[in-house]
Amino acid sequence: MKLSERINAFAELGNVLHSIEVEDKNNLFSQAANYNPWFVAKHCDLALKGISKFLVKEKLEQWAMPYNTTLSASRKVGVVMAGNIPLVGFHDLLCVLISGHHLSAKLSSQDTVLMRYMIDQLVTIEPRFKDQITLTERMNDAEAVIATGSDNTARYFEYYFRNIPHIIRKNRSSCAVLQGNETDEQLIALGRDVFSYFGLGCRNVSKLFVTKGYDFVRLLDLWEQFKDVSDHHKYVNNYDYNKSILLVNRVQHFDNGFVLLTENQALVSPISVVYYEVGEPDVSSEKIQCIAGSGDNMIPFGKTQEPELTDYADRVDTMKFLTAL
């Protein structure tokens, strides 16, 4: 297929996502939740809408333009997908197929329903993609690999795929910078960065860098509108557990009934907990996925979970890697 044909197929997929019937969407989300209870309908819908925003012909053309997608040979690219939030592996799928390679995907057991749906829709739109997509459990014949996992599994991936080109992604998290002069609207928007997907994504804010004497009471009051996270049994179990740990250890914290704020220098906090620290983040840290705030090179509050096509995970240009194979 020509690049234009591949782009047209993905743009049509974007149209399909916009026009899914409510009943079909509800059935899809219900199936996804059966495999992964964290995948509530609200968050599945958020993921689909986010993807449909960049599956637009003009955006795809502009994104692909700088890369040489006229390959001397198509490679079999293995992609080990994560499943922490709905459709988190879709961007890698898009990159591999737009660049003209063969996708050999190992789906996460936590996100098979939605990913299979997207692949089925894509093949229905453009049947030639059927020969370019393989779902597999092993990467024995892969000529290049993109693998996402924890810091522990990353060491395994680094060793196992040491003899072929690879991108290995590790644990990352995101943070926000608060100067104390934020508007109510900005702090409410920050709440979306914290609570979307229950905070399970690497683009979720799990750490706040604040000024001395910051008013956390105001912040927690404004976050009351996100209280519905406590309706989810897994989330509230985490909240109860982490609250008990803080109380038993007599750790000072703020609590509004569904989220806990406590001072901690660590970047990654447990589910239902947000760490804070007086100071500024280390912008060069390899553990930070993105930084929300109003400063230069920061993502506006409320936008961390709305990545654009060029917002590559771990700041590694996936398309550059693929088109250089």
Residue 135: per-residue pLDDT: 97
Q: Domain count of the chain? A: 2
| Residue 187 and residue 140 share a domain | no
| Residue 148 and residue 22 share a domain | yes
Q: What stretches in the chain show pLDDT beneath 70? A: 72
Where a domain ends, among 131, 151, 171? 171
Listing DSSP states for 292-311 in one string gives ESSSTT-BPTT-TTS--TT-
Report which secondary-structure segment, H or E, holds 64: helix 57-64
Domain assignment present for residue 41? The answer is: yes
Domain assignment present for residue 304? The answer is: no
Tokens encoding 19: 């026009």
Domain assignment present for residue 213? The answer is: yes
Asked if 235 contacts 198 with a C-beta cutoff of 8 angstroms, the reply is yes
Residue 283: per-residue pLDDT: 87
Residue 289: per-residue pLDDT: 95
Nearest of 311, 290, 255 to residue 177 by alpha carbon: 290
Which pTM was predicted? 0.94
Domain assignment present for residue 113? The answer is: yes
Residue 185: per-residue pLDDT: 97
| Residue 150 and residue 111 share a domain | yes
Residue 297: per-residue pLDDT: 87
| Residue 213 and residue 70 share a domain | no
| Residue 162 and residue 22 share a domain | yes
Nearest of 183, 196, 260, 188 to residue 228 by alpha carbon: 196
Residue 151: per-residue pLDDT: 86
Residue 253: per-residue pLDDT: 97
| Residue 82 and residue 191 share a domain | no
| Residue 231 and residue 140 share a domain | no
| Residue 106 and residue 215 share a domain | no
**Main-chain phi, psi angles of 173, to 5 degrees:** -145, 175
Domain assignment present for residue 83? The answer is: yes
Residue 183: per-residue pLDDT: 97
| Residue 36 and residue 50 share a domain | yes
pLDDT digits (tens, 9 = 90+) for 66-116: 998 777 679 999 999 999 999 999 999 999 999 999 999 999 999 999 999
The domain containing residue 206 runs over which residues?
Answer: 173-292
